[in-house]
């Protein structure tokens, strides 16, 4: 369901709320190109999508006329073989022509009717020129770094000089084109500049300053409410990098940052729905244990409330709410839903009546290949450590065939609490515990609170050892106090 769910969601972003009621004409001539038609595409998030076709007109010219103004952003002109000729900007300019050559589309470019793109190609051409200057010095540095320190140092100085020239050009470019999309585009590509760290009272530089400053100023150059920047490579890269690398991967931290950034993105309908979509997608797909709590938060606050009804597909919305409702009772920290099932003697056994400091709730199937690998590892751990940590296993077999279940219990010497999942007095365990494959293991404490879930047997051993050690340390500290 996951891939279908978010494929449906992503398609809705093709339609912007911020399209102006003007028509636009694009004319393109690429001398030497053999195409019969050209294609217009745009960036969105980390992908590119086709918009329309430029038809061949007189001579080597291709023309596209659109009744409404295209949303501002970075666009692509591509050939019939999906070869990219060049990129350009669209922002409130209605009659634009590009004339260039097949041999060097960027450096031979002549633009008419678009100050934005005249400036854009000046910027791109400058960077291309500097890249050519950098390459030989980079080669020298790589060849001499370990053998000839003096030569390597000389090349390093030259590289630094070129880099300073580029930075100076960019600063001046942004300043001289203030108020234009091209300036915002260039600015959005720049990382925040980190000043020297302050000195602490102990005389040492603050080692955490760079990280804290970088995180605090991460979006200074990229306004999260600028919908035009959604249609560049930078917006998604920056948002994704922030949440995946700058924020602690814990649901509370993700939720806190969501609460801080969503109100900024909300100032534009397009950036608002993108930010909600991104965070929902990010938390739903996360492999990090416990992140489903952040997913539930997103659904409850932005879909179940009707907040996203201005754009969300009703079927997608219903699927999201259904999934969040299923996950909420089994979030870490919740009391595990009760299971009452028949054991191998056809006696009813209650999960909540199991007396142990730790209960491992195992869902398995006799025909499951992965179960055959995991169960022996779990068995080895339980045999060694069950008494030390007071552990019991409540093993739920998904096979309806009791004979088959008993056969594998004997084969693996599963001297645990063995019950048959289909023979239950409680609700369907697939729904209660979101079981769509096996094996799945939950770890519960003595009160049947969920401590961890979807761990491997090795991870459960490590988790219990760490949890027990932490409890012992806490108990010792309480005694000392």
* Sequence spans of domains, the chain: 15-113, 121-188, 209-330, 340-474
Distances (CA, A) of 24 to 20, 53, 327, 422: 10, 13, 48, 63
**Which pLDDT belongs to residue 472?**
81
Q: Which residues contact 32 (CB under 8 A, 6 or more apart)?
A: 101, 102, 103
Element spanning 164, H or E? helix 149-176
Element spanning 24, H or E? strand 24-31
**Which pLDDT belongs to residue 176?**
98
**CATH dotted code for 340-474:** 3.40.30.10
Give the phi and the psi of residue 79 in degrees, each rounded to 5.
Answer: -90, 180
For 188-200, b/e burial (b = at least 16 CB within 10 A) is bbeeeeeeeeeee
Q: How far apart are CA 281 and CA 149, in angstroms?
A: 49
The alpha carbons of the chain give a radius of gyration, in whole angstroms, of: 30
Q: How far apart are CA 255 and CA 471, in angstroms?
A: 27
**Which pLDDT belongs to residue 3?**
40
Q: How far apart are CA 353 and CA 444, in angstroms?
A: 12
The domains spanning 15-113 and 340-474 adopt the same CATH topology: no
Q: Give the CA dihedral 258, 7, 38, 30, nearest 10 degrees.
A: 30
pLDDT digits (tens, 9 = 90+) for 313-365: 999 999 999 999 999 999 999 999 999 999 999 999 999 999 999 999 999 99
Q: How far apart are CA 395 and CA 411, in angstroms?
A: 15
DSSP 75-121: EEEE-TTS-EEEEEEESS--EEEEEEESS-TTTT-EEES-HHHHHHH
Residues of the chain whose pLDDT is less than 70?
Answer: 1-22, 481
**Which pLDDT belongs to residue 9?**
46
Residue 36's CB is within 10 A of a number of other CB atoms, namely 10
Which residue do the tokens 């023979």 mark? 423
> Could you give the count of Cα atoms lying within 13 Å of 57 in the half-sphere of its Cβ?
13
Q: How far apart are CA 63 and CA 269, in angstroms?
A: 31
Domain spanning 15-113: CATH 2.60.40: yes
Which residue do the tokens 């594998």 mark? 408
Angle at 250 between CA 295 and CA 461, to 5 degrees: 110
Give the phi and the psi of residue 141 in degrees, each rounded to 5.
Answer: -60, -45
Q: Are strands 84-90 and 47-56 parallel, antiparallel or unpaired?
A: unpaired
Q: Which long-range contacts (CB under 8 A, 24 or more apart) does 457-464 make?
A: 457/374, 457/375, 457/377, 457/378, 457/381, 458/377, 460/360, 460/378, 460/381, 461/381, 461/385, 464/358, 464/385, 464/389, 464/391
Name the H helices within 292-343.
Answer: 292-302, 314-327
For 101-134, b/e burial (b = at least 16 CB within 10 A) is beeebeeebebebbebbebbbbbbeeeeeeeeee
């Amino acid at each position: 369901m996951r891939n279908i769910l978010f494929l449906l969601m992503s398609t809705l972003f093709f339609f912007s709320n911020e399209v102006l009621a003007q028509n636009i004409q694009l004319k393109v001539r690429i001398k030497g190109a053999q195409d019969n038609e050209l294609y217009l595409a745009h960036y969105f998030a980390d992908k590119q999508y086709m918009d329309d076709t430029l038809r061949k007109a007189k001579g080597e010219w291709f023309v596209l006329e659109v009744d409404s103004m295209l949303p501002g952003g970075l666009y692509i002109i591509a050939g019939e073989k999906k070869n990219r000729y060049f990129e350009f900007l669209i922002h409130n300019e209605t009659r634009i022509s590009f004339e260039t050559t097949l041999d060097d589309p960027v450096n031979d470019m002549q633009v008419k009717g678009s100050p934005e793109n005249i400036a854009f190609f000046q910027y791109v051409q400058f960077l291309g020129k500097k890249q050519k200057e950098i390459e030989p010095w980079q080669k020298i540095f790589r060849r001499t770094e370990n053998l000839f320190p003096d030569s390597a140092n000389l090349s390093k100085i030259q590289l630094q000089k070129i880099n300073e020239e580029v930075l100076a050009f960019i600063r001046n470019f942004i300043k001289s084109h203030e108020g234009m999309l091209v300036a915002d585009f260039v600015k959005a590509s720049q990382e925040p500049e980190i000043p020297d760290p302050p000195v602490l009272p102990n005389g040492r530089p603050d080692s955490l300053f760079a990280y804290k400053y970088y995180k605090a100023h991460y979006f200074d150059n990229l306004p999260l409410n600028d919908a035009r920047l959604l249609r560049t490579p930078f917006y998604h890269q920056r948002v994704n990098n922030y949440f995946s690398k700058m924020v602690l991967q814990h649901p509370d931290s993700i939720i806190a940052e969501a609460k801080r950034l969503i109100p900024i993105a909300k100032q534009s309908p397009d950036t608002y729905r993108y930010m909600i979509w991104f965070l929902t997608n990010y938390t739903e797909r996360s492999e990090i244990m416990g992140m489903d709590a952040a997913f539930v938060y997103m659904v409850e606050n932005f879909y179940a409330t009707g907040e996203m009804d201005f754009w969300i597909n009703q079927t997608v919305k219903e699927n999201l709410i259904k999934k969040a409702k299923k996950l909420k009772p089994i979030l870490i920290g919740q009391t595990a839903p009760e299971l009452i099932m028949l054991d191998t003697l056809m006696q009813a056994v209650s999960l909540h009546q199991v007396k142990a400091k730790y209960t491992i709730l195992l869902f398995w199937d006799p025909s499951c290949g992965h179960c055959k690998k995991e169960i022996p590892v779990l068995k080895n751990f339980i045999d060694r450590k069950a008494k030390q940590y007071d552990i019991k296993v409540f093993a739920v077999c998904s096979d309806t065939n009791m004979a088959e279940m008993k056969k594998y219990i004997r084969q693996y010497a599963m001297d645990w609490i063995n019950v048959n999942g289909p023979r239950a007095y409680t609700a369907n365990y697939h729904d209660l515990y979101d079981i769509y494959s096996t094996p799945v293991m939950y770890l519960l404490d003595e009160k049947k609170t969920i401590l961890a879930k979807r761990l491997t047997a090795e991870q459960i051993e490590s988790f219990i050892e760490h949890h027990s050690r932490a409890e012992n340390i806490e108990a010792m500290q309480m005694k000392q106090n």
